Amino acid sequence: MNMRISKLGFAIILLLLFLSSGIDGQASEINFNVKAILPENQRSKEVSYFDLRVVPGEKQILSVELINDTQEDVTIQASANSAITNDNGIVDYSYSDTKKDSSAAFTFSEIAKMPKNIVLPKKSSKIMECIVEIPEESFDGYVLGGLYFEQKGEAEEKSKGALAVGNRFSYVVGVLLSETDKEVKPELALNKVQATQLNGNNAVIMNLQNKKPAMVKKLQLDAKLYYENETKPRYENHQESLAMAPNTNFNYKIDLKEQPFIAGNYTVKIKANDGYKDWTWEKTFVIKEKEAKKYNATAINLPPNPKLGFPWTLVISIGAGILVVILGIIYYFNQKLKKEQQKQHEKYEELKKNLDK
């Protein structure tokens, strides 16, 4: 009987796993596909994104086929986005409203126009065109962007080959524009360093900038944070295989984890390498007392402040008082018991005398 129950339970578990995996697979399906139609000026036919050699002052048309193989109509929101470097050190095409980097002559989103809303009927396909106005003034290096297509839906899972953003699925077709074969090398710079708070965690961020229209594909960063005149770093962060888009910046961080900010003078030392060149920076900054208190008060992962923590002195005092009371009660009842025993003894002695007489 026990063996049968075990087998039945095992079968039920397998069935639940099968059903849950089937539900997840269905929920993560995306209802449209995207295919870039590569033009004659495509530099490489072996890639699925646009890698185009463009001419100053001319129009470049980017054609994309949108395919809906489902039995339902699909509404797609589209945008031509400039590539940025997000704070994880990843090239990102998903933001349509981004601040232009100070080193950029122009961005992809400034020169590209495309329909914002596209209705794709069931079991149909449609060619969507993005018009890119190449500036009159020529440029060396690269301009990087992406054609971003997003579908509203109820699922919140990640599907294979697509990116789930909240309750939306999206596709990105990269666009790489160049006019010459002249090699442009990255030029990295360290900008502002400051204390901040990220998702409730105290951190120091260092803004790193790629000032040139060149890709950084394998960036290695080593950052160390020193307090006052200490020779040993208090905090540090080392990462490899980061990337930076041309003419972009991002905030590299050192997480203080479960440590509070301490007011004072700090020095940050950073080493960077892109596989070809080394950069080193050193910058001092100040964390003020008011700033440290503000962030420490709202940090979610700090241990309680001893000054504001549990009132151990009061607890010990109360505990000592209770102990004195308990000992007093014990003493009182002990004395009372002794008196009772004494009375009983006296009565016994008196009774004994009477019996002897």
3-state secondary structure 248-283: EEEEEEEECCCCCCCCEEEEEEEEEECCCCEEEEEE
70 phi/psi in degrees, rounded to 5 = -95, 175
Please write the tens of the pLDDT for every residue from 136-150: 999 999 999 999 999
**Gap between the Cα atoms of 217 and 245, Å rounded:** 8
Domain range 188-305, CATH class: mainly beta
Count Cβ atoms below 10 Å from residue 341 Cβ, excluding itself: 10
Q: Report yes or no: 66 and 76 within 8 Å, Cβ to Cβ.
A: yes
Question: What residue segments make up the domains of the chain, in order of their start?
Answer: 29-178, 188-305
Question: Which of these, 225, 207, 208, lies nearest to 265 by C-alpha position?
Answer: 225
pLDDT at residue 107 in the model: 97
Determine the pLDDT at residue 347: 67
Q: How far is CA 264 from CA 228, 256, 295, in A?
A: 7, 15, 14
CA distance 146 to 165: 16
What is the pTM assigned to this prediction? Answer: 0.73
Q: How far is CA 32 from the centre of its chain?
A: 28
H/E/C letters for each residue in the chain?
A: CHHHHHHHHHHHHHHHHHHHHHHHHHHCCCCCEEEEECCCCECCCCCCCEEEECCCCCEEEEEEEEEECCCCCEEEEEEEEECEECCCCCEECCCCCCCCCCCCCCCHHHHEECCCEEEECCCEEEEEEEEEECCCCCCCCCEEEEEEEEEECCCCCCCCCCEEECCEEEEEEEEEEECCCCCCCCCEEEEEEEEEEECCEEEEEEEEEECCCCCEEEEEEEEEEEECCCCCCCEEEEEEEEEECCCEEEEEEEECCCCCCCCEEEEEEEEEECCCCEEEEEEEEEECHHHHHHHHHHCCCCCCCHHHCCCHHHHHHHHHHHHHHHHHHHHHHHHHHHHHHHHHHHHHHHHHHHHHC
Span 82-132, pLDDT tens digits = 999 999 999 999 999 889 999 999 999 999 999 999 999 999 999 999 999
Superfamily of domain 29-178 in CATH is: Immunoglobulins (2.60.40.10)
Helix (H) or strand (E) holding 241: strand 235-244
Q: What is the rounded end-to-end Cα distance, in angstroms, of the chain? A: 84
Residue stretches of the chain with pLDDT short of 70:
1-29, 153-168, 304-314, 347-357
Quote the pLDDT of residue 311: 56
pLDDT value at residue 217: 95
Specify the pairing of strand 50-53 against strand 168-178: parallel
